Structure 1
Amino acid sequence: MIALVDYGMGNIRSVSKAIEAVGGEVSITQSPEEIRKAKAIVLPGVGAFRDCMSNLTELGLLEAVREEILKGKPYLGICLGMQILFTESEEFGMCKGLDLIKGKVTRFKLPQDYKIPHMGWNTVIFKKKSKLLSEISDNSYFYFVHSYYVVPEESNFVGGVTEYGIEFTSMIIYENIFATQFHPEKSQKMGLKLLSNFIQFIQ
């Protein structure tokens, strides 16, 4: 059973359907107990970092998510679910994250010919070998929509990078933590394959 964390933001249903489409068993939950009992955690999200952290706290989910990740439970963070792993975000003023990965979330500062948000299909250059990337070619296309990106202090967390005016970290792969700035549930064949690989990892 995969706990799909519902904290009132993001595209929960589309992520749930995508995981189920590749054979995963999903429980959409706002229960800390279910998060602790689950075999893995998936936390998707679209919206503001501060609202995400506030909602997780108010629902009593923040500590459960953080503690289970620290215990080694497999975690997949999507978009905002990746960003909250970091120490802090500068979105709408500095806000503390889970601080599981040292670093910050910062806004794109790009030449005028680059639109913000970064929206649409772009490639990911893999920096690590991982079961998560099994049968997915380097430089595969995935779907992005974001105005902020993560800046890890240590390069050993970086699983993949993407070019959009600058090179930024678009994937985190480290022990039990997997996270993507792109949306696998919107990324067609390659996105579904990544979700399938995550399910295989936790079995």
Structure 2
Amino acid sequence: MGVRAEQRERTRTALLDEAERLFARDGYGAVGLPAVVAAAGVTKGALYHQFDGKAGLFGAVLERVQERVADRVVAAAEAATGRWAQLRAGCRAFLDASTEPAAARIMLVDGPAVLGWPAWREIDERTSGRHLAEGLTVLVDHGELDPQPVEPLARLLSGAMNELAMWLTGPDVTDADRDGARAALDRVLEGLRPRS
């Protein structure tokens, strides 16, 4: 990588780091581009060289946050023993990672509102949604889930987990609610297993 390419990458990383910090703390509507460029120590021109404006910058931040959540899902699944345990661990990791305050603000509150539902879903499907579909496919392929089209099931579970995650970010949610949410998710997943 040449010097100019390295500088562009450093600038991009600084902008993403500071924008993520500000969007998570203050929310998309309260963050102006002057604050982002000042915090990143770059010019407004440098920002526009990298992104097509505030929404473009936010989209890149959202994708970055979604990728980190997906990485946690994969790590949790890989640490579990057995295919069903991997599915359960990955789903629980998604709930835990996506409901942390910074991620929740960017992913669940501002993400759909700023980018619109179709763009938000496309990012979700490329990240955590892809891993969910892959896990379900493995279960079908190994006969641990009844033969069926995976896409509708993956969308159903993804939608349910996204809705559950949004609820868990509410101001009045208690630890008992979180425990109940995990237990409900476990029951739903267990209900998918074939009955012998």
Q: Do both share a fold (TM > 0.5)?
A: no
TM-score by length of 2: 0.28
TM-score by length of 1: 0.27
Q: Which has the higher helix share?
A: 2
